[in-house]
Structures are given as structure tokens and as C-alpha cells.
Amino acid sequence: MNCIIASTSTIHGSNYLEYLKPKLIDFFKYKSKLVFIPFARPSGISHDEYTLRVKESLGDVFNEIKGLHEFKHPIEAITQAEAIFTGGGNTFLLTKELHEQGLIEPLTMAIQKGTNYLGTSAGSNICGPNMKTTNDMPIVYPPSFKTLGILNFNINAHYLDPNPNSTHKGETRETRLKEFLTQNNQSVVGLREGSYLEIEGRKITLKGKLTARIFEADKTPYELESGQTLNYL
């Protein structure tokens, strides 16, 4: 597999995909066409608006960028794609669309056979066995929480550490993920903003300047340093 699985598309003080751009230029250097999956619709924007955003950011990387909604036969578009990008937004909505259009298996198979895949936020959340560790509001009801399963563990994108100066007494992200582990067997990788996983063949490596927070059943959560691999999960 050849994947970049990022916590976010945009970090503070930068434009859309700007912080990832040097990596993406190298990652996609032999690809001329990109199929973009816009189904997560951040802030409710249209598929066309979302695809235009990607074209403005990656138009100098690809000769052609086309939203999956523009294809008459989306399954065929996925199976024949040179490169695929699934953008962030609402993971419930994204998962619902992928299931209802019969795209879960074709997308999984395309990635497993080596099609270059970029996921950000919701597009990263779907890489685990299920989408149960998303932070998103359940605005729709997907037929199943099952997702691509190209990773053996789940992703929690936009992972936030507790703020020691906050007066908020509600649950932290760590509390919620510990709750998940009482009911599920999957480990979880909390990806902080600006961090991403790089998959080369079977090797999975944490990249970026920050550590990741790792959650495993019956273990105290711990930090994984950038540059270390996650194949053991």
C-alpha cells in the first residue's frame, strides 16, 4: 500500500493542504490524474465546491482532478484511478455515502493493490476497521460503522490533549477513547494536528513534528515518537 493518512488538511496559520504540499508533490510525482471523494462535505459545502478547493490546492500537482460525484460509474472510477484523495468533514456522512454507493470494497481493494491514497480527517478515520472513534456529530445514520480496514487500528483525527487551565469539567478526548476500549478490541491512534501516517508497502510510520497518543485495551495510554513504526498494533 502507498498511503498518507493525515489528522487534518489544514494547520493553524496555513492554507488548505499547504503543510503537506512538499510531501504530496513527491508522493504523487508519477501520477497525472486524481479522483477526489468529496462526500464528507465540511461545513455542508457542495461536492462541486469541495472539489474546486482541491483543484486550487493541487492543480499544479495533477493534470486532472475530478470529483467522484462527476463520474457516471463511480465504482469503475475508483478501480481505474491513478490516485485517490478522500477529504475531511463528517465521517458519518462519508461512511453512509460509501456504503450506499457500494464503494467500501472497491476502495479498499484499490488501496490494497497499491493505488496512491491520501486521506485527511474523515478520510483518515475511514482507514481503520470502523469509524467509531470519530469526533463528528451523527448527522446521518450509516448502514454500518464498518469502514475500509486497511489499518488494524482505528484513527482519532484531531486528537486534543486536556487543557490544564480549562474550567471545562466535561469528558476529555482521552476519556472518550478509554470508553471505546471497554466495548471494542481495536487499538486507537490519536493523531495530533500536523501529524500523519505514511504507509509504504507493509510499513506504517508516524510522521510530523509531534508524538501520537496510543490507546490499547488494558494498557495506560502512551506516546509514540515521530519516526517510529506502528506495525505492532
Catalytic residue numbers?
121, 136, 158
- Torsional class of 158: left (φ above 0), alpha (ψ -120 to 50), beta (otherwise): left
DSSP state of 18: G
CA distance 95 to 104: 8
Q: Are 53 and 16 in contact (CB under 8 A)?
A: yes
CA distance 51 to 66: 7
CA distance 74 to 121: 22
DSSP state of 58: H
